[in-house]
Structures are given as C-alpha cells and as structure tokens.
Amino acid sequence: MKPEENYSLRGYNTFGMDVSARYFAKFTNEDTLDALARTKEWQESNPLILGGGSNLLFTKDVDKLVAYNQIKGIENRGGDDEYVYLHVGAGEVWHDFVMYCIANNYGGVENLSLIPGSVGAGPMQNIGAYGVELKDVFHELEAYHIEGRYFVKFRAHECHFGYRESVFKNKFRNQFVISRVTFKLRKQPKFNTTYGAIEKELEKMGVHELTVKAISDAVINIRRSKLPDPAKIGNAGSFFKNPVVSASQFEILKLKFPEIVSYPSGDDYKLAAGWLIENCGWKGFREGDAGVHKDQALVLVNYGGAKGKEIFDLSTRILSSVHEKFGVDLEREVNIY
C-alpha cells in the first residue's frame, strides 16, 4: 500500500479549503487499515484520520499522512421483538445510513437526518439534533488502537458521551480509529417531537399520523431552510457549542438581557450561542469570502475563496465580542487543524 504524495484535500472537507496532504491513502476494511498502519508514511508521525471532513477547519497544509476512512457496509445483526442491531462501517455516509433506517422503518435516527459527515464521526462528538443524540441509539463500536495495532470494543458507558463530547475527543484523542459502529434501533418507533420546530413543520406538512419518514422529512425541511448546504456554501455546521452557564450567572444575564434564549440543563442553563452571536451584530457579516450565515449565526461560511486562517480569525473576533458583551466564553465545536 503506497500512499499518494501532495494530495489536494479540497474535495474532502465541507469548508472547501484547498490545502494539501503530504501523503494520502484510503482504507476500506480492517485489513487495509492495519496494512496502512505498517507503512513508513503512517509511522513517521501520527496520521490525520479523515471521515466526511464535515467538522474540520484546515488552516494549513497537512505535513503528514491523511488516512481516509472508507470502511463501508450496513449489516443487520438481528435483535429481539423490540430492537434491531445494525453493524455499520465508519466510512458510510451518515445520511445514507439514516435513509436505510427510514426505508426499513427502524426508529431512532430520523431526527438526525441530513447531518453531514460519516458514521464514524458520529460517536466521536456524539452528534445531535432536534432533541436526539447519537448516544440514544448507540450500542457499541469497534476501534483500532493506533500504537498497539489491535482492535477493541467500546460499550456505551466506556465512550463517556456528553454534549458534543466523547472519550475519543478527550482522553483518547488521536489514539483510535473508529472502524465500525453498532446501533440499536426500535422496530416499533417511539417518536421524539419535543423540539418545537418539528411539531410546527409537521403541521405545515399536513401530517396527522407520525412515521419515521414524516419526521425525517420534517427535519430535512427545517435544516434546508436554515442551514447552508455544504455542496453550495462551504461550512461545518455549528462552529461553536452552545455554552452552559450556572443558574446564578444566568439570572444576572436574564435581568440584563430579558430576551436571551436558553434551555435548562440540569442545575445550569444552556444558552443559544446563535442568539448571543446575532446580538453582537454578526449575523450575515461578510469580509472577503469569510462570513457568518445569514439565517443561523452559529454557522461560519466560506463563500468560495476564504482561507482557513480567515475563518479562524473571524471566529476569534466573535469569541471576543461575545465575551465582552455577555461575559460568556464560547467554545469552538469544529476541530481546527
């Protein structure tokens, strides 16, 4: 297995950054992953493992091996009266997997329709939308230990899933390659329409009987109406996480900014970062080809020729102004390379 040299990554990241990789190779199963891990290009330095490239901002060329995860396949592993277990290659496109579930009337991932990226990136940051998170349908995963060159299984509790968090982003960062994920889906779906926008959209669609297909369609409509399509405008979804503040800090903010959008989160409050950013005047901002989306201030966009550094610098300016106005520190959700 010989990695290619000086390979353009433009088509491999949803921000559309035209950077190059010193070496590039893809792996399609466990054996080719293991073979790649034995090459000198891999061993020279810790490789960058790439999935859908939808949560990543490149600010420079990658001076090492980029290993592209293309492990595919959806295998039905049976189940019981209530659940079916699907064993899915980490390189499958997330939305294709969701569509497979919808076609088979398996419930659990319909609220997660149209999230860009690959299946393997799902557990990495516990993707979530419209009241559902990946952890709600997760059973276990298999991952390759980069240094030890062996495969291990992680059960749900071992992944330490949190809000856009897992052990793979923290303690085990850059140590494992997720190869396959097993999901546990409901044969008799239970619907989650707690997120107000879904109810409204279903009503607009004239849906009276809930199905996984109807919810998926509603989610797709909502996402298309406010999130830019990465195939048209470069972006990586929410650029920042919604920050969590203590109840006392929230009370002070609420007095000063009665309109602030928030959700209770245990004893604390989660704030809508989009609202904070919009209220600092950034929504629709554009400088050169770097900007803040006009319909969702949490999403930074590349109108074509922006460099990663320009998007990054814009994000730093946003962090400072939110800090200055609200005293709240936003955290980037997107991985910066």
> Which residues of the chain form contacts with ligand EPU (CB under 6 A)?
129-130, 237-238, 241-242, 261, 272, 274-275, 278, 283, 296-298, 333
* Rounded least distance, CB 13 to ligand EPU, Å: 14
| Nearest in space to 280 (alpha carbons), one of 268, 264, 292 | 292
Active site residue 82: no
User: Whose Cβ is closer to ligand EPU: residue 23's or residue 240's?
Assistant: 240
- Tokens coding 66: 């980029």
Pair of tokens at residue 216: 């998926």
Shortest Å, Cβ 19 to ligand EPU: 21
23 φ, ψ (degrees, to nearest 5): -135, 150
Q: Starting from the edge strand earliest in sequence, which strands make up the sheet with 48-50, in order?
A: 4-8, 20-27, 62-69, 48-50
Residue 274 near residue 203, CB atoms below 8 Å: no
Residue type, 249: Q
Q: Kindly state the smallest distance separating residue 142's Cβ from ligand EPU, in Å.
A: 25
Nearer to ligand EPU, 69 or 126 (CB): 126
Q: Which is nearer to ligand EPU, 37 or 159 (CB)?
A: 159
Query: Residue 297 CB, nearest distance to ligand EPU (Å)?
Result: 3
Is the Cβ of residue 84 or residue 280 nearer to ligand EPU in the bound state? 280
Q: Going along 51-199, which residue ranges are E strands?
A: 56-57, 62-69, 74-79, 83-89, 128-129, 132-133, 138-145, 150-155, 176-186
Pick the catalytic residue: 164, 180, 186, 223? 164
To the nearest whole angstrom, how small is the minimum distance from the Cβ of residue 296 to ligand EPU? 5
- Is 164 labeled as catalytic in the residue annotation? yes
Instruction: Count the neighbouring beta carbons within 10 Å of the beta carbon of residue 151.
Output: 16
Q: Do 52 and 14 contact (CB within 8 A), yes or no?
A: yes
Provide, rounded to whole angstroms, the least separation between the CB of residue 237 and ligand EPU: 2
Residues 51 and 14: their CA atoms lie apart, in Å, by 11
Q: What is the smallest separation between the CB atom of 66 and ligand EPU, expressed in angstroms?
A: 22
Q: Where are the beta strands (DSSP E) in the chain?
A: 4-8, 20-27, 48-50, 56-57, 62-69, 74-79, 83-89, 128-129, 132-133, 138-145, 150-155, 176-186, 234-238, 244-245, 262-265, 268-271, 286-287, 290-292, 299-302, 335-336
- The Cα-based distances of 54 to 16, 149, 323 in angstroms read 10, 27, 27
Which of 113, 118, 216, 238 is flagged as catalytic?
238
Nearer to ligand EPU, 26 or 293 (CB): 293
Distances (CA, A) of 16 to 58, 210, 265: 9, 37, 35
HSE, CB side, 13 Å, CA atoms: give it for residue 79: 18
**Catalytic residue ranges:** 164, 238, 333
